[in-house]
Amino acid sequence: MSRANRFLLPLGGFALLVLLLVVGLKQAPDKGIIVSPLVGKPAPALVLPTLMDPAVTLDAAQLYKGQWYLLNVWGTWCVECRYEHPALLELQKTAGIPILGMDWRDDEATAQQWLKELGNPYDQVVSDKEGRVALAWGVYGAPETYLINPEGIIATKRVGSMTPAIWEKQFLPLMAQRK
Amino acid sequence: MTPEIGHYALVLALLLAAAQALFGLLGPVLAQQRYVQAVPFAVAGQFVFTALAMACLVNALVQMDFSVRYVAENANSALPLFYRVAAVWGAHEGSLLLWILVLSVWTVAVTLRSRALPQRFIARVLGIMGLLSVGFLLFTLATSNPFLRLDPAAPDGRDLNPVLQDFALAIHPPMLYIGYVGLSVAFAFACAAMIEGQLDQAWARWTRPWTTLAWAFLTAGIALGSWWAYYELGWGGFWFWDPVENASFMPWLVATALIHSLAVTDKRGLFKSWTLLLAISGFSLSLLGTFLVRSGVLVSVHSFAADPARGVFILAFLVIVIGGALTLYAWRAPGLRSSAGFELTSRESFLLFNNILLVIAAAVIFGGTMAPMVSDALGQGALSVGPQYFNPTFLLPTLPLLALVSVGMHASWKRGNLSRTQRPVLATLALAVALALAVWMGAYGTGSLMLPVGLGLGLWIILSSLVDPIDRLRRGLSLSAGVLGMSIAHIGLGLLTLGIAVVQTASIERDSALVVGQSAQLGAYSFRFDGVEPAEGANFNATQAKVTVQRDGVDVAVLQPQKRTYWVQRNAMTEAAIKTQWNQDLFVAMGEDVGKGAWSLRMQVRPLIQFVWFGAIIMMLGGIIAGLDRRYRQLKPVAEQEPNTVDVAAGARTA
């Protein structure tokens, strides 16, 4: 290799790297942005008071034992949750599995009002006022949606709004595989 | 109003950064002296408006203005003031603003400290830095504006993740950014030199202090992050080869190589094109790290809420900055030749080995970090690369690297006269081996072969770093800050080596179920379970265990780990108890109540783990001392020295 060509090598290497990054970037949206390290692992405990009656405590593992369910993390302070809401109402009708709502670091009265106004897509709603359960689940920010399989394993996770397209592309195939 | 002021201040900073770039780069080309003289004013203006924007964001957070989206998403009325300010860099938008401010501060520092440098040259340096500012300001304004309003305003904001409310973590990002961004100075100096097509020894002397200081901050930033992960997450380790940890470690390794290669270029006018390439790579890796963290391409605990649109923007920026610099390199570097030669056993060749090994280490990490992406891109599915890959492959280049430190430090420039220097090298080696064997046998006894090897290398580095300063002091010679800083940084490296070697090989872990009064033996220590009692906190009830640690029948520590149940959602969290001593950490965490009064306990003895961070802090101190050496402040342009005139006898051992 001639002396001048040797100095082109770093540029060539960088071009390859850019190519890789472009491909990676194209695939990034499909991955639902951040894949949780918890995917494929048993779901952390979720034992919380319900939103409607704080005296009643609900254990997700007990309640949904042996069946698929969705866990949707939301809050009335969360702007994107408002955009997401119609999609959840749609899923309630079409998905065929229960959606457990987790109201995260929120005021109960406001949250109840929100569900009254916008409609309630949830099978059950629990309130995680201190955010400790959200922490254990690795919630980064609302909204986030988890799919939990009948064995209590987190099958997948969506960071950001749920949409019908995401449901069909990311969630449905996982459930279909099992049947 | 203030968020709008902040927004406009950013726009003005962008315009001034553009002016700084244009005047700085065009002035010398068009030979317009007025353009060149305008550059410092643009620098000052950009700093003023960036600082104003930052003040507006801090104000919004302190005042809890929840009509600002960034505030509503990252702060909460219950958050203490300190963490509300720290929330400035708690998320993507604010941390970008901090990045821009840090870049602006470095630019001001370069402007102030470089008045004695040739005006055309420094105009070009500032022009390049202005170009970087333009890129980041555009990025912020176009995709990540922290001043966006929320309509309607939120009644209260989201809290900072509780795990993140920690002092070490609050100051970890600014430290890292000062380091990352500081590498842009060396980058700008390299680009300016390539534009001029000229690179002499004086250039290396100008670049050295900036690189060393940036390196010191990078060291501190990485060490703080590692320390936090150990204490707060209780993972029981100091390094996890997480992609984002790696993204900060790669520029550190390259910057370390750059510091050493700059020394050669400064002293002997050698390695010119290599030094340039390292200066470009160091900052490029910082930028690449930014891309990886913020684009969602890599999966990591550190990932910012990612947005592919941001990814596209940063990628375009990477292509312009790194691609531009490497094109410049391909064009100009072939013209930079070094006439001087050196022998195989001279200091130059040891520093060359140092560089090669450091770059190999960085490449090994680069490969492991990028492998999951390559596998993904080729449709091979998810691939996870963990410590099983990183630990052994990282050792391959670093063991010889550590072994060469002492020899290289005492070798002479240019001449390979080993007989003159072998006495301190061999003497310290013998002493280190004897000490290492004594410590190994005396304190640890067992463990893998890596333990005595690591101990020996660490001790050898420490002892031989002491030789030069002591020798100089004894002979009444002056000790320059450069030599002192180098010695201190190498002592830090030795301490770090000791810490890693011992904690990786001699840690003892045991998970046992114990009934009250029963003990578990971990090496020389016995952990006695003295029972549990209820305890109460502000918002939780806890079961608290009492574990007495004894050595030879003497109480060493009483540890009280807790298993907490928070009132609101009734889930359990464990709170480990750690007793830190200078030479080890004793650790107990509670497991489950296994019935009949027995509890499962996780017990660990982690020897010398504190040395890891202590060593890193010493390295940082060494870097700061060396970076502030008086020699760099005599900034009169120096004519290229005739390599043959380098004083081999007395000057040979200066850094």
Rg (CA), chain B: 27
- pLDDT at position B99, please? 94
Q: Tell me how far apart the alpha carbons of residues A139 and A54 are, in angstroms, rounded to a whole number.
A: 22
Using a CB-CB cut-off of 8 Å, the residues of chain A touching B570 are 47-48, 57
Least CB-CB distance to B162: which of A20, A110, A135? A135
- pLDDT at position B131, please? 96
Burial B418-432 (b: 16+ CB within 10 A, else e): beebeebbeebbeeb
Report the DSSP pairing between strands B540-551 and A47-49.
unpaired
> B488 versus B240: which is more confidently predicted?
B488
Burial B275-286 (b: 16+ CB within 10 A, else e): bbbbbbbbbbbb
Using a CB-CB cut-off of 8 Å, the residues of chain A touching B376 are 24, 27
- pLDDT at position B308, please? 63
Q: What kind and span of H or E run contains B173?
A: helix B167-196
Q: What is the DSSP letter of B343?
A: -
Up-side HSE of residue B17: CA atoms within 13 Å toward CB? 27
Rg (CA), chain A: 21
Q: What is the pLDDT of residues B2-17, one digit of tens each?
A: 899 999 999 999 999 9
Using a CB-CB cut-off of 8 Å, the residues of chain B touching A34 are 296, 299, 303, 305-306
CA-closest candidate to residue B188, choices B131, B138, B140, B136? B131
Up-side HSE of residue B262: CA atoms within 13 Å toward CB? 27
pLDDT higher than threshold 60 for residue A155: yes
Q: Tell me how far apart the alpha carbons of residues B354 and B187 are, in angstroms, rounded to a whole number.
A: 21
Least CB-CB distance to A77: which of B157, B280, B295? B157
Interface check for A37 against chain B (CB to CB < 8 A): the answer is: yes
What's the token pair of residue B654? 């200066």
What's the token pair of residue A130? 């201190």
Do residue B330 and residue A11 have CB atoms under 8 angstroms apart? yes
Residues counted in chain B: 655
C-alpha torsion sign, points B71, B77, B78, B82: positive
Specify whether the CB–CB gap between B281 and B246 falls below 8 A.
no
Specify whether the CB–CB gap between B92 and A34 falls below 8 A.
no
Q: Tell me how far apart the alpha carbons of residues B154 and A77 are, in angstroms, rounded to a whole number.
A: 6
Chain B, nearest residue to A25 by Cα: B297
Q: Hey, is B32 helix, strand or coil?
A: coil
Interface check for B570 against chain A (CB to CB < 8 A): the answer is: yes
Is the backbone of residue B136 left (phi > 0), alpha (psi -120 to 50) or beta?
A: alpha
- pLDDT at position B93, please? 87
Phi, psi of B580 (to 5 degrees): -100, 125
Interface check for B389 against chain A (CB to CB < 8 A): the answer is: no
Alpha carbon distances (Å) from B242 to A135, B83, B200, B280, B631: 19, 25, 39, 24, 39
Which residues, 6+ apart, have CB-to-CB distance to B647 below 8 Å? none
Using a CB-CB cut-off of 8 Å, the residues of chain B touching A135 are 161-163
* Residue tagged 């006269």 (tokens): B417
Specify whether the CB–CB gap between B633 and B208 falls below 8 A.
no
Specify whether the CB–CB gap between B444 and B524 falls below 8 A.
no
Q: What is the pLDDT of residues B323-343, one digit of tens each?
A: 999 999 999 998 887 767 787
Q: Tell me how far apart the alpha carbons of residues B179 and B98 are, in angstroms, rounded to a whole number.
A: 13
Do residue B291 and residue A159 have CB atoms under 8 angstroms apart? no
pLDDT higher than threshold 90 for residue B44: yes
- pLDDT at position B158, please? 58
Least CB-CB distance to B295: which of A28, A45, A78? A28
Phi, psi of B526 (to 5 degrees): -110, 130
Using a CB-CB cut-off of 8 Å, the residues of chain B touching A17 are 288, 370
Interface check for B320 against chain A (CB to CB < 8 A): the answer is: no
- pLDDT at position A104, please? 85
CA-closest candidate to residue B100, choices B175, B43, B170, B50? B50
Do residue B296 and residue A128 have CB atoms under 8 angstroms apart? no
Interface check for A42 against chain B (CB to CB < 8 A): the answer is: no
> B296 versus B439: which is more confidently predicted?
B439
Cis amide bond preceding B607, omega within 30: no
Q: Tell me how far apart the alpha carbons of residues A160 and A79 are, in angstroms, rounded to a whole number.
A: 11
Interface check for A143 against chain B (CB to CB < 8 A): the answer is: no
Which of B233, B317, B568, B574 to substitute to test the interface with A, most A CBs within 10 Å? B568
How far apart are the CA of B516 and the nearest CA of chain A, in angstroms? 29
Segment B288-312 shows an average pLDDT of: 64
Segment B452-459 shows an average pLDDT of: 94
Chain B, nearest residue to A6 by Cα: B330
pLDDT higher than threshold 70 for residue B468: yes
Q: What is the pLDDT of residues B280-297, one digit of tens each?
A: 999 999 998 877 777 656
- pLDDT at position B568, please? 46
Chain A, nearest residue to B306 by Cα: A33
Using a CB-CB cut-off of 8 Å, the residues of chain B touching A22 are 315
When mean pLDDT is compared across A37-41, B26-30, B147-151, B256-260, the lowest value belongs to A37-41
pLDDT higher than threshold 50 for residue B650: no
Burial B468-500 (b: 16+ CB within 10 A, else e): bbeebeeeeeeebbbbbbbbbbbbbbbbbbbbb
> How many beta-carbon contacts under 8 Å exist across A and B?
134
Phi, psi of A96 (to 5 degrees): 80, 5
Q: Tell me how far apart the alpha carbons of residues B200 and B638 are, in angstroms, rounded to a whole number.
A: 9
Q: How confident is the model at residue B230 (pLDDT cuts 50, 70, 90)?
A: confident
Least CB-CB distance to B319: which of A18, A33, A136? A18
In Å, the largest CA–CA distance within chain A is 79
Do residue A79 and residue B150 have CB atoms under 8 angstroms apart? yes
Do residue B299 and residue A31 have CB atoms under 8 angstroms apart? yes
- pLDDT at position B137, please? 96
C-alpha torsion sign, points A131, A137, A138, A142: negative
Q: What angle do CA B201, B203, B208 make, to 5 degrees?
A: 100
Which of A9, A14, A110 to substitute to test the interface with B, most B CBs within 10 Å? A14
pTM recorded for the entire structure: 0.82
Using a CB-CB cut-off of 8 Å, the residues of chain B touching A102 are none
How far apart are the CA of A179 and the nearest CA of chain B, in angstroms? 22
Q: Which amino acid, residue B631?
A: R
When mean pLDDT is compared across A52-56, B32-36, B176-180, B219-223, the lowest value belongs to A52-56
- pLDDT at position B523, please? 85
Least CB-CB distance to A35: which of B156, B284, B299? B299
What residues of chain B, 366 to 385, have a C-beta less than 8 Å from chain A? Answer: 370, 373-374, 376-377
Q: Hey, is A153 helix, strand or coil?
A: strand
In terms of Cβ atoms closer than 10 Å to its own Cβ (0-12, 13-18, 19+), residue B65 is: buried
Least CB-CB distance to A23: which of B308, B329, B377? B377
The angle that helices A9-27 and B272-295 make with each other, rounded to 10 degrees, is 0
Tell me the pLDDT of chain B averaged across its residues.
85
Q: Tell me how far apart the alpha carbons of residues B283 and B180 are, in angstroms, rounded to a whole number.
A: 7
Q: What angle do CA B162, A131, A166 make, to 5 degrees?
A: 110
What's the token pair of residue B177? 């950014």
Q: Tell me how far apart the alpha carbons of residues B190 and B212 are, in angstroms, rounded to a whole number.
A: 15
Do residue A129 and residue B322 have CB atoms under 8 angstroms apart? no
Specify whether the CB–CB gap between B258 and B278 falls below 8 A.
yes
What residues of chain B, 470 to 529, have a C-beta less than 8 Å from chain A? Answer: none
Least CB-CB distance to B330: which of A7, A105, A140? A7
When mean pLDDT is compared across A41-45, B32-36, B199-203, B247-251, the lowest value belongs to A41-45
**ipTM, 2 dp:** 0.82
Least CB-CB distance to A20: which of B69, B281, B374? B374
What's the token pair of residue B498? 């000791």
Do residue B566 and residue A29 have CB atoms under 8 angstroms apart? no
Q: What is the pLDDT of residues A156-179, one digit of tens each?
A: 888 777 888 889 888 888 888 765
When mean pLDDT is compared across B394-403, B433-442, B585-594, the lowest value belongs to B585-594
Highest mean pLDDT among A63-77, B3-17, B165-179, B261-275: B3-17
Q: Tell me how far apart the alpha carbons of residues B374 and B383 are, in angstroms, rounded to a whole number.
A: 9
Which of A1, A2, A6, A7 to substitute to test the interface with B, most B CBs within 10 Å? A7
Do residue A34 and residue B156 have CB atoms under 8 angstroms apart? no
The Cβ of residue B537 has, within 10 Å, a number of other Cβ atoms equal to 12
